[in-house]
Structure 1
Amino acid sequence: MKRLWLDIGNTRLKYWITEDQQVIEQAAELHLQSPADLMLGLIQHFKSLELDHVGISSVQDKKNNDRILRILRMLDVPVTFAKVHAEYSGLICGYDNIGQLGIDRWLQVLAVASAEQNLCVVSCGTALTIDLTAGLQHLGGYILPNLYLQRNSLIQNTKGIKIPDMAFSELSPGRNTIDAVHHGIFFGLLSTIRQVMLQSPRQLILTGGDAALFAAYLNDFNPRIEPDLLLKGLKIYIAQQPT
């Protein structure tokens, strides 16, 4: 069976094509606040693949999701949008209002939650999100601006300082403004994760584009890097859907 898996975030659309559970193609593109237009540009390629099913994680609003669905119907295959449940496959949502929990965070927790472990799942994406579990009970979490959002905020509000793109790879006190900004932002996010981890022992799981960067400074917590964690959760979600 050949499937298309879509992760439609606030700024980026990522997709995977799998055949017999193996990823045979993947890509990620910025959608510039118009994911449906980007989807329209991809649909002919997807049609050529002769797909059997589409599974979607989307943080977009209903209007955008409806537009995306209309375009995907051109494929003439079943399309499933994942959604947050109060309980799913044994995992219990920790939010009082489940509609407020992002589907991306829910699927990432669903991918790794188990009755035997307490987890801290950190996603290093457009936002840095932290979700905690106690067994199969999701406890809620934290959301912070990521490295680059914080840097951009400082650029916009600090006159005369131009911050170039560079790696956030040092924690020493900055000896110039550029280093002070980068090191300070990175230090702050790492300190937040450390404080959360010190509240109670749990397995630290990192995912997202900057997972390896954070892992290098959190070695004492024995972090586990999980690439494509959302895809894993989306597969579990679809597998548990009633036929």
Structure 2
Amino acid sequence: MRKLWLDIGNTRLKYWITDNEQVIEHAAELHLQSPADLLLGLIQHFKSLNLDNVGISSVQDPKNNARIQQILELLSIPVYVAKVHAEYAGLQCGYDRTELLGIDRWLQVLAMANATESFCIVSCGTALTIDLTEGLQHLGGYILPNLYLQRDSLIQNTKGIKIPDVAFDELSPGRNTIDAVHHGIFLGLLSTIEKVLQLHPCQLILTGGDALLFANHLVNYQPIIEQDLLLKGLKTYIDNIK
């Protein structure tokens, strides 16, 4: 079977095409706050692929999600929309109100959680999110601005500081303002992850665009990088629909 998998995040639309579970096409594009328009531009391509069904994860608001589903109806195939549940496939959600947990985080937890292991799942995307599991119990987590959001916030709120877009790859004390900002932000996020792991010792899982960057500075925790973790979770979700 040939399937389309959609991940519509805050800034990007990602999709995978699988044929008999093998990824044959993958792309990620900025949607510039208009994911439905971007999807509409892709729909003819999707039509040409003779797809059997669609699985979708979207963090958009109800209005955007309704338009996205209308566009996907043009494919005339079943569309499965992932939602957060208090319990799903044995996994217990750790949020008091399940509707407040992002579907992207829920699917990443669903992808990893099992009865015998515990995980710290860190997604290094637009936000840096941390979710903890103990067996099939989701314990909740943390959300922080990522490297670039913190840097941009500092620029906007500090007069006279102009900080170029340079790499976050050092932790030494900055000997100029640019390095002090970048190294300080990176050190702060790494220290947060380390503190969480001290409080909840478990296997560290990293996903998202900056996963390798963080992994290089967290080697003592033997991190595992899972670049397509949301896709894995979305597949698990669809497989368990009753």
Q: TM-score, normalised by structure 2?
A: 0.99
Partner of 1:25: 25
Partner of 2:115: 115
1:76 and 2:76 aligned = yes
Q: Among the aligned pairs, what percent are the same residue?
A: 76
Partner of 1:176: 176
Task: Give the Å deviation of 1:16.
Answer: 0.5
1:205 and 2:186 aligned = no
Alignment of 1:145-184 (within 5 A): 145-184=145-184
Alignment of 1:212-223 (within 5 A): 212-223=212-223
Counterpart secondary structure, 1:57: strand
Counterpart secondary structure, 2:238: helix
2:164 & 2:7 partners in 1: Cα distance? 29
2:200 & 2:210 partners in 1: Cα distance? 24
Counterpart secondary structure, 2:185: helix
1:107 & 1:81 partners in 2: Cα distance? 12
1:155 & 1:78 partners in 2: Cα distance? 46
Partner of 1:188: 188
Partner of 1:240: 240
Partner of 1:67: 67
Q: What per-residue deviation string (whole Å, max 9, x for no partner) do you get for residues 212-234 of structure 1?
A: 11011111111111111000000
2:150 & 2:228 partners in 1: Cα distance? 24
Q: What per-residue deviation string (whole Å, max 9, x for no partner) do you get for residues 128-154 of structure 1?
A: 000001110000000000001001111
2:79 & 2:193 partners in 1: Cα distance? 36
Counterpart secondary structure, 2:174: coil
| Structure 1 unmatched runs, 5+ | none
Task: Give the Å deviation of 1:160.
Answer: 2.1
Q: What per-residue deviation string (whole Å, max 9, x for no partner) do you get for residues 36-72 of structure 1?
A: 1111111111111111000000001111111001111
Q: How many matched pairs?
A: 242
Partner of 2:126: 126
1:106 and 2:98 aligned = no
Partner of 1:143: 143
Amino acid at match of 2:68: I
1:118 & 1:18 partners in 2: Cα distance? 29
Task: Give the Å deviation of 1:165.
Answer: 1.4
Counterpart secondary structure, 2:156: helix
1:192 & 1:2 partners in 2: Cα distance? 41
Task: Give the Å deviation of 1:200.
Answer: 2.6
| Structure 2 unmatched runs, 5+ | none
Runs of at least 4 residues off by over 3 Å: none
Counterpart secondary structure, 2:122: strand
Counterpart secondary structure, 1:187: helix
1:11 & 1:179 partners in 2: Cα distance? 27
1:47 & 1:240 partners in 2: Cα distance? 26
Amino acid at match of 1:230: L
Counterpart secondary structure, 1:94: coil
Q: What per-residue deviation string (whole Å, max 9, x for no partner) do you get for residues 188-243 of structure 1?
A: 0000000000003211100001111101111111111111100000000001112x
Amino acid at match of 2:171: L
Task: Give the Å deviation of 1:21.
Answer: 0.3
Partner of 2:92: 92
Q: TM-score, normalised by structure 1?
A: 0.98
CA RMSD of aligned residues (A): 0.7
